[in-house]
Amino acid sequence: MIELSRKNPRYGYRRVWAMLRREGWRVNKKRVHRLWRKEGLKVSDKQRKRRRLPILLGTSENSCTRRQATHPNHVWSYDFVMDLTEDGRRLKMMPVVDEYSRECLSIDVERSITAEDVVETLASLFRRRGEPTSGIWHVFSLIESIGCTYRKYSLG
């Protein structure tokens, strides 16, 4: 039983019981189950296959799979990350990352990040480094109010 379970780590006690019966062992399923537990045997977890995103079908023009960064300052991304401090208060962070070099261009850490803070951070980055050459942003979690203010800022 142990040998069969080592040869076939994805087989459970029922399948091992069936294999033992085929090999000529006259053994009860309950006994195999009891011995299986006693030996501490377990079925190994199935390794999940990584889903590949379709390159052409179902992806937008601004998607990460279609528009990968090819050089520094080509594509930037930003996200909103939240954490709790030791005293239980919320801390918000907004890192801006260059997708090609993985360089963190800026990280805002505040108790509250407003839409104006986002626009101010991006404007200061534009002054220091210029806009991304592709004009493409990957925004991972866009808060409604920030989106409205950003649209107003970018339109004029």
**pLDDT at residue 20, as a whole number:** 92
The pLDDT tens digits for 93-146 are 999 888 888 889 999 999 998 888 988 998 899 899 888 877 666 676 655 445
3-state secondary structure of 25: coil
| Mean pLDDT (whole number) for 7-35 | 90
**pLDDT at residue 30, as a whole number:** 93
Closest alpha carbon to 95 in 83, 74, 81, 82: 81
What span, in angstroms and rounded, lies between the C-alpha atoms of 26 and 100? 63
Pick the more confident residue, 78 or 91: 91
| Mean pLDDT (whole number) for 9-30 | 91
Distances (CA, A) of 116 to 113, 122, 140: 8, 10, 18
The pLDDT tens digits for 27-62 are 999 999 998 889 888 887 777 777 665 554 444 455
pTM of the model: 0.52
Q: How far is residue 69 CA from its own chain's centroid?
A: 19
For the chain, the domains span 2-38, 75-155
